[in-house]
Amino acid sequence: MRRHSSGPYAGFALPSVLTVLAVLLPLVAAGTATARDGTGPGPLPLVRLFDNRAVSDARHPQAADFDGAGRSLPAEDLAAAGWTPGRILTLDRARLAWPRRAPGEPDNAVADGQRVRLAGRGDALAFLVAGTDAAGTADGTPRLAGGTGEVRYRDGSRGTFRLTAPDWLSGPLATKAVALPRVHTPAGPLAARARLYAVLVPIDRHRAVSSLVLPRDRGPDLHVFAVSVRRAATGWTGTWSATTAGLPAVGPWTDRTLRLVVHASAGGPAVRVRFDNTFAAAPVRIAGATVAVQAAGATPRAAPVPLAFGGAAGTVLPAGAQAFSDPLRFAVPAGGNLLVSFHLPGTVAAVPLHSLAVRRSYVSELGDHSADAGPAAYTSTLSTWPLLAGVEVSGGPGSLVVLGDSITDGEKSLPDADRRWPDLLAARLRAQRTVPRFGVLNAGISANRVVTDRYPGDGVSTDTGGVSALHRLDRDVLAGPSVRTVIVFQGVNDVRWGGTAEQVVAGLREIAARAHAYGLRVLAATIVPCEGEALCTAAADAGRTAVNSALRAGLGGFDAVLDFDRVLRDPAHPARLLPAYDSGDHLHPGDAGYAALADAVDLRLLAP
């Protein structure tokens, strides 16, 4: 395993270095043994194991050597993204601190079996990492860095985990936490997209962590900048969500307030909201935010109630990060609509958003109108959900997440009526007492696929089909509040665009395995027919039926299968939707079809 040092000691006279080393080497050796082979008094905090310099500034680019080739992360670009030293970043619900180090100081540890002191109880270990692969494979393709580590619990038990990270210059942009526009080299800046990744691995949520052992691997270097135990979101139920589908141009909005309408699937006595700056390259500031129950349009039933963020009226979301409001005593009515209003004081020209709201929301005239008790300032409408990604209520039995595409997203359903099939399923859950009344979170994205990205995951784009279900699973499902059950209803877009049944089944199987690792119950739904739509060729239908056959045979590894194909197909022509359920485009159901899907779900299958 390589160790790169550079810059700060280059100017020392040789006798001085030898003198210092003669004194320090015995101490360093002892500390290394304690950290890496398990002997001695115990593990060390990660910051005391930092042995690599990743960040430099423009004045001294040679002060860091992240990858053994003299290249490094520009401190200026990190700051421009909001990733400043010591900043707490919330990524996939985990809190990770960007190292409080000046440029040129050691700021990460190259994983080599070090023992790391870490305390806490939660559902996952969260790492902020990147790989550097100087060698690559025979064809020049960078390899994943990392290997098998060990988590040690306070009760003396142990478990293993697999921690890997893509290469910092060539890994997938779809899963990065942040990307920077360039890298530093001793010869000057180089235009390259430098990536950092947040990686989570599940652990036993019933045991308290005391330490961990980083992987020891002889392949590419795995650099660890931060690690934490992600606390499980116990005590909260998701009532609404909208998954980030892309980063398109908007407005631009300057000094505007957005008032977004959202439908609560579950009620509770307290509320908090989540904003996501997913895929972004720059921070966004929210100066103030409120919540209210909707009366009609942009009119609240009563005066909006201010939200707070760490006690402050507003917050700044670094690039790629999330922000949660403080818990607020506020009665959320089950099945009712909320108005979440927030003021954007700066100029926003592109913003992460959910593209298919099937719901009108509102944009104000100039100024902060988040506390307005009337609609007069809200003179424009929009049909997307920018920035706002989730609403949670206190208490309740937890959440059910539906991972899907445009059929789950409600394409062709009646606008402003909440007739998506997950909305109707939530209404059924509220009306019964047989199983827990889960909050239902809609993680559908129009045009989304299981194994292929539509949106590349970086940069401003007109495509809002999202990154693949595999690439967004951690953020959109596994990081959800108190998730108990997942329904996966995807695959038609894969086969319509040339994907094979084998690829889709393999992707679905991976989703099931990753969700099971978190202790979730996972259901799959068969793909519904679409003959008559332009891309639903005979080959696409053959792929669809092959996927469905595999699911019915249990080859996907799911706990149960919902046969939506049989619910919606025309018995006289099984490759087509039943005309009564067809919206008219032969791909999406209409309101009657969505109701049929919700009614077909055996609620007993949803309970773990």
Residue 528 has pLDDT above 90, yes or no: yes
33-42 mean pLDDT: 46
Relative to beta strand 94-97, strand 88-91 is antiparallel
Q: Is position 240 within any domain?
A: no
Domains held by the chain: number:
3
Residue 42 binned pLDDT confidence (cut-offs 50, 70, 90): confident
Domain that residue 122 falls in: 14-230
Q: Which residues pair with 229 in a beta bridge?
A: 125
Element at 340 (helix H, strand E): strand 337-350
406-428 confidence digits (pLDDT tens): 999 999 999 999 999 999 999 99
Beta strands in 408-474 (DSSP E): 439-444
563-584 confidence digits (pLDDT tens): 999 999 999 999 999 999 999 9
Percentage above 70 pLDDT, the chain: 92
434-461 confidence digits (pLDDT tens): 999 999 999 999 999 999 999 999 999 9
- The pair of structure tokens assigned to 596 is 């049929």
Same domain for 595 and 464, yes or no, is yes
CB 133 within 8 A of CB 121: no
pTM score, whole prediction? 0.93
Residue 20 has pLDDT above 90, yes or no: no
288-323 confidence digits (pLDDT tens): 999 999 999 999 999 999 999 999 999 999 999 999
The closest of 285, 501, 496 to 405, measured between CA atoms, is 496
Q: Is position 235 within any domain?
A: no
Same domain for 385 and 403, yes or no, is no
Residue 327 has pLDDT above 60, yes or no: yes
- For residue 192, the Cα-to-chain-centroid distance in whole angstroms is 24
Q: Is position 9 within any domain?
A: no
The closest of 468, 605, 503 to 174, measured between CA atoms, is 468
The closest of 486, 397, 477 to 437, measured between CA atoms, is 397
Same domain for 407 and 386, yes or no, is no
Q: Residue 452, by phi and psi: left (phi above 0), alpha (psi -120 to 50) or beta?
A: beta
Amino acid identity of residue 568, one-letter, is L
Picking from 164, 198, 230, the residue at the C-terminal end of a domain is 230
- Rounded to an integer, what distance in angstroms lies between the CA atom of residue 66 and that of residue 184? 10
81-133 confidence digits (pLDDT tens): 999 999 999 999 999 999 999 999 999 999 999 999 999 999 999 999 999 98
Dmax (CA) for the chain in angstroms is 90
Residues in the chain: 608
Vertex 235: Cα angle to 232 and 237 (nearest 5): 95
Residue 41's pLDDT is 53
Residue 137's pLDDT is 59
Q: Is position 3 within any domain?
A: no
Q: Is position 2 within any domain?
A: no
Question: How many other CB atoms are there within 10 angstroms of residue 44's CB atom?
Answer: 20
Q: Is position 236 within any domain?
A: no
Amino acid identity of residue 39, one-letter, is T
- What is residue 582's DSSP assignment? B
Amino acid identity of residue 482, one-letter, is S
Same domain for 186 and 212, yes or no, is yes
Residue 186 binned pLDDT confidence (cut-offs 50, 70, 90): very high
Burial label for 25, CB within 10 Å (0-12, 13-18, 19+), is exposed
Same domain for 368 and 419, yes or no, is no
CB 560 within 8 A of CB 514: no
Q: Is position 215 within any domain?
A: yes
What residue has token string 């084998």? Answer: 502
Picking from 196, 230, 264, the residue at the C-terminal end of a domain is 230
Q: Helices in 330-388 by DSSP H: which ranges?
A: none
207-237 confidence digits (pLDDT tens): 999 999 999 988 899 999 999 999 999 999 9
Same domain for 262 and 144, yes or no, is no
- The pair of structure tokens assigned to 155 is 């009760």
Question: How many other CB atoms are there within 10 angstroms of residue 42's CB atom?
Answer: 12
Q: What is the spatial order of strands in the sheet that 178-185 belongs to?
A: 109-110, 221-230, 124-132, 188-202, 178-185
Same domain for 265 and 410, yes or no, is no
333-343 mean pLDDT: 98
Q: Helices in 315-363 by DSSP H: which ranges?
A: none
Cis peptide before 252 (omega within 30 of 0): yes
Same domain for 308 and 424, yes or no, is no
Picking from 367, 392, 417, the residue at the C-terminal end of a domain is 392
Residue 251 binned pLDDT confidence (cut-offs 50, 70, 90): very high
Same domain for 48 and 148, yes or no, is yes
Same domain for 451 and 572, yes or no, is yes
Residue 7's pLDDT is 35
Assign residue 538 the CATH number of its domain.
3.40.50.1110
Same domain for 376 and 465, yes or no, is no
Same domain for 156 and 189, yes or no, is yes
Q: Is position 366 within any domain?
A: yes
